[in-house]
Amino acid sequence: MALLRPGIDATRHRRMQLWRERFIEFALRSSALFAVVGLLLIIVFVFREAAPVLFDRETQREASVPGFFATPLWQPVGDVPKYGIVPLLVGTFKVVVVAMVFATPLAVLAALFSSEFASPRVREAIKPVIEILAGIPSVVMGFFALMVLASWLQQWTGSTIRLNAVNAGIALGLGVIPTIYTVAEDALRAVPRSYREASLGLGATPWQTAWHVALPAASAGVGAAVLLGLARAVGETMIVLMASGNAAIISGDPFDSVRTLSASIAAELAEVVVGSPHYSVLFFLGALLFTITFIINVAAGVFVERLRKRLAGA
Amino acid sequence: MRPSRHARAAVLFTLLAAVPSHAGRGITVKGSDTMVILGQRWAETYMNQNAGQVVMVTGGGSGTGIAALINGTTDVCQSSRAMKPDEKLKLRDRFQTTGIEIPVAKDGLAVYVHTSNPVRELSLEQLRGIYMGTITNWKQVGGSEATIILYSRENNSGTYVFFKDVVLGGRDFSPRAQTLPGTAAVVNAVSKDANGIGYGGGAYAKGVREVALKRTATAPAVLPDVKTVQDGSYPLSRPLYFYLRKKPEGDVRRFVDWVLSDAGQQLATQVGYFPLR
């Protein structure tokens, strides 16, 4: 062994190893730095482009924060542009609620099944299939909702508006299920075997064990899974752009068409004049969207930490 | 998806930095967003066929293009509307000319309904009422008892602006109008919605029925086709223009001649517009 050989050879070897270590450390450090700096620059860019809405007099004459709430109309192109963001907020909220109501039970129960009840062979089949759902491009999912799902739903519910919040929400839910399922499944499988053995040993049925022991024990991870799914649902663009009809109306009816924050940005940013009020408003929406998902992610972190502490203390 | 104006602007800046626009052979074309794709296709094909020729096309809107023409920063302005009198006046102040107007293609907008819809024709006034939300039931325009479902284009599209200007007289669409990305999506939605109505380029109309339009309640109903769009009897047709400061010469003339030739007009048809002849 080179290390054990005495003399000059060993010192040289050690020095080379030291350099290698340093190099590897440097490479890892710079990739981490690169990711962080890239992210920060994006955030800075979004907020800088949105800034005229808050600070530029000229822009504010057309679009200002009080103005966003003063009109119920989103008609940004015209002689008198109207930037009412309330319908967009309502729309985003409606679609996300439908998506989460649809996706959460399905994904969590599927995770419970594959971690607690399925035989290893069945589990090995289910997991990749659900994860393939995540690999379907969202454009394809949106197109499916636009062409097929919308017609089914209309026949089934008899709604007047074909492209509505329910249609977009369900398609969005399909896109969110893999996220929730994967994280929740991992959390459930991380529950120690001894918990289940103790429960079964005390005479609980497998269902009681899964529902009253495994799921509560994994609740931190499952909660985080749901919040990650929520963050994804809020930011998802292509599915809602294609499936929701994009009419900016304020209504509580889930069978009305909706326009979301993300879809508005996607639809309008490509053709807007750079630096115009409309451009700044769209970046403001982007900053708003970023803030919302950021808060959800932080909440997920806090939530997990608190539950973990409680469980560890119990 | 169309290249963003941001990207186009970036390309333009790069090109401007590399080749000053008035240093010789490059022809600059600027203006209408509706015509950007058309102009770019013309330029690409023309440059492929004529080695050494450079044609640079950017959008920005018809107004931007006309302003560039007045400022002398573009050779050719593409415009989907005629120049306004005050714009001509400005051009005359600067260059002692009112400009040369050359129609280069025709644009026709079709109005679609579901194939099962009994409504065959609409007047412009009815169409305006429908899209502004004052007419909400097909029964009011001679159809069956059913709520009208409005499909529209995204507000970034030239088609949206044209429809808004010509049909709505610049007023706002009903907020209930559903805006879809692309004419193809509008056609798909209308083809699946028995009570839907939508608008877009005539070339797309598959699986839906085009509605004949009347300028006034008593005027004859006209369907869009090559003939009615060309002679302007179809109400939603418009010429697309090139504007120049002076009679085209040299390279510019060769380019304009080529655009007006059969090959250039053929290309316009492929992009979804109508030829002049």
Choose the mutation target among A152, A162, A259 for the interface with B, i.e. most B CBs under 10 Å: A162
CB count in 10 Å sphere of residue B2: 16
Q: What is the pLDDT of residue A7?
A: 64
DSSP character string of B62-88: HHHHHHHHHHT--SEEEESSPPPHHHH
| Helix, strand, or coil (residue B218) | coil
| For chain B, domain boundaries | 5-106+238-271, 108-230
What pLDDT does residue B10 have? 47
User: Shortest Cα distance from B147 to chain A (angstroms)?
Assistant: 8
Residues 110-149 of B with CB under 8 A from A: 147, 149
Q: Among A63-77, A82-96, B10-24, B88-102, which stretch is predicted with the lowest mean pLDDT? A: B10-24
CB pair distance less than 8 Å for B5 and A241: no
The answer to whether residue A32 scores a pLDDT higher than 60 is yes
Instruction: Give pLDDT, residue A198.
Output: 93
Q: How far is CA B55 from the centre of its chain?
A: 21
* Residue contact B170–A79, C-beta within 8 A: yes
Percent of chain A with pLDDT over 90: 57
* ipTM surpasses 0.85: no
Mean pLDDT over the full length of chain B: 84
Average pLDDT over residues A262-289: 85
| Residue of chain A minimizing CA distance to B9 | A274
Instruction: Answer yes or no: are the C-beta atoms of B95 and B77 closer than 8 Å.
Output: no
Q: What is the pLDDT of residue B272?
A: 76
Shortest distance between the Cα of A95 and any Cα of chain B, in A, equals 16
pLDDT digits (tens, 9 = 90+) for A182-224: 999 999 998 989 999 999 999 999 999 999 999 998 888 899 8
Q: Do A274 and B155 touch (CB under 8 A)?
A: no
- pLDDT at site A205: 93
Query: Per residue in A9-25, pLDDT tens?
Result: 778 888 888 999 999 99
The answer to whether the Cβ–Cβ distance between B188 and A271 falls below 8 Å is no
Minimal CA separation from A236 to chain B, in Å: 16
* Range with lowest mean pLDDT among A76-85, A286-295, A305-314, B82-91: A305-314
Q: What is the pLDDT of residue B259?
A: 94
Contacts of B153 in chain A (CB under 8 A): none
pLDDT digits (tens, 9 = 90+) for A138-161: 989 998 998 899 999 999 998 888
Q: From the list B155, B188, B195, which residue is nearest A268 (CB)?
A: B155
By DSSP bridging, strand B149-153 and strand B100-113 are unpaired
- Phi and psi (nearest 5°) for B240? -105, 135
Q: Does any CB of chain A come closer than 8 Å to the CB of residue B5?
A: yes
- Which residues in chain B are contacts of A270 at CB distance < 8 A? 1-2, 4-5, 156
Asked whether the domain spanning B108-230 has the same topology as the one spanning B5-106+238-271, the reply is yes
Task: State the architecture of B5-106+238-271 in CATH terms.
Answer: 3-Layer(aba) Sandwich (3.40)
What local confidence, expressed as pLDDT, does residue A270 receive?
A: 66
Report the residue from A147, A246, A267 with minimal CB separation from B188: A147
Q: Which residues of chain B have pLDDT under 70?
A: 1-25, 156-158, 202-204
Taking a C-beta distance cutoff of 8 angstroms, is the pair B102, B239 a contact? no
The CATH homologous superfamily of the domain defined by B108-230: Periplasmic binding protein-like II (3.40.190.10)
Residue A4 has a pLDDT of 53
